[in-house]
Structure 1
Amino acid sequence: MAKEKDEIAPVSETMIQSLIYTVRGQQVMLDSDLAMLYQVETRRLNESVKRNIGRFPESFCFQMTKEEYSSLKSQIATSNNEGRGGRRKLPYCFTEPGIAMLSAVLHSDTAVNVSVRIMNTFVEMRRFISNNALLFEKISNVELKQLEFQKETDARFDKVFDYISDHAETEQKIFYDGQIYDAFSLIASLIQKAKKNLSLIDGYVDIKTLNLLAKKKKGVDVTVFTHPKTTLSPTDIGNFNRQYPNLTVKGTTLFHDRFLVIDDTDVYHIGASIKDAGTKCFGITLIQDKQISSDLIKRLKNIK
């Protein structure tokens, strides 16, 4: 027995639900999906709307923007039109009252019957959301707590990584002859750690030393304790201060070894003059005993 012209093909509620999207905070269906359900061409459906445009205010029907369409396509695997060569125009979205109005302007029993099923699906979806509102709220609260926990955890990890970056890899290091770049890189990184001041104890300083000290952060004061007969001239010191203030050079013969003091807190023992770092085997060690560090810093404060 032949089908009547407008006999409806089976349309399940699940299928309809899969074609309902959220755009501009509203539940809508696309013109191409509705045309497929109504068994008409998308072009004909939109022409019917244009002929009755007074019945379709923006709260009933609106055309998507490029951004909205791109966002929607990224949420679904494929659109109904993409398998047939895509579409040239941006789709129109129909809200629930707009879909009800469509059945009136299409003059089709199929449109009327399908619209009834669509309306029932919208009602069931609203009922489901209403009945499970408390559950959704609990889920949202759990997700929010998870996000807050994640942020706190990330912050803790950041602190740990920062500490490791500032301390662990530079507590003790030995460089062998020829590791000039590695040695200079580590010393430069130590110099850049200073936030307020640097003190360098080194009996043999020259322009190479100043080149390394120039790696310091802006606003960090530098004091160099070196042999009174240093090769640095007043001109060298003046030129440095014009670009990287403030540098003070003090002559002393109290020290044999080399030390680098960062922010009057961390003291590093350096086995060679930093200008010669990497030319021979030497070591750099962070002094762990705070009393020893404190005594050295006090001694420096008393040098005029």
Structure 2
Amino acid sequence: MNKRKTYALKPSDKAKDERNPIVVLNQEDLKNKIYTIRGVQVILDRDLAELYSIETRALKQAVNRNKKRFPLDFMFILTENEVDIMVSQNVIPSRRHLGGAFPYVFTEQGIANLSSVLNSDKAIEINIQIMRAFVSMRKFISKNAEIFRRLDTVERKQLECQIKTDKNFEKVFEAIEDKEFVKKQGIFFDGQIFDAYNFVSDLIRSAKESIVLIDNFVDDSVLTLFLKRKDDVRVVIYTKTITKQLRLDLMKHNSQYPAVAIKEFKKSHDRFMIIDDKDAYHIGASLKDLGKK
């Protein structure tokens, strides 16, 4: 018969537990550490390790030594997409912060098993308080289930859109850093207004599916320039501030011509045009100032 493996605290740690009374945890703080992932309530490994006053690495080691006690409905590892969502919600500072390892998350049943695996009086006392937080959260969610369902649907769509946007920009900036520019280039000096205008016009005409413009200084002349694109070519403009005048220009434009989308984006100072999600052009001046700078 196999003996159950446990991860015991060192004698010095046990003595420390006996000298210091267990701190009563704030229930609201505990509730803030509970997240809903894959339809179940869970707590991250790093948050549990902090509550137990041990290292996250030690907690994972204890779990790995007792894998049979942690089936998927007790504990699972986050996927890449789930980590991206947690990062976008500022739950995790960044993927780099994880050091290449994806977090373990524990359901209520998995957390109950941790106290026996860790073999610590402190873990038992902490777990009792965590269980009470789970019960309180279940009651709250049950009373407000319909509201949460609606909010979750809206929030999920917003997060998916934000993650997709961030990933697209990461690809663009990586391509620029790696100098993976398209072959066609143009250098225009002050006064070569028509040459610069004609070059950008050709770029717009070359698009088959989509055009993305990152430019913090957009006006109605830029909207006019995009009328040169082929039918069914989508245009999205990212700019630092959408002024009342620009909003009015856009509304008037879209009421008569194929729609252009404009979104706020404050993370870029340079100008870029991306054709069909594959060809990136670094533009020295804003489109409205072609050939002037």
Q: Same fold (TM over 0.5)?
A: no
TM-score (norm 2): 0.42
Question: Could you say which structure has the larger radius of gyration?
Answer: 1
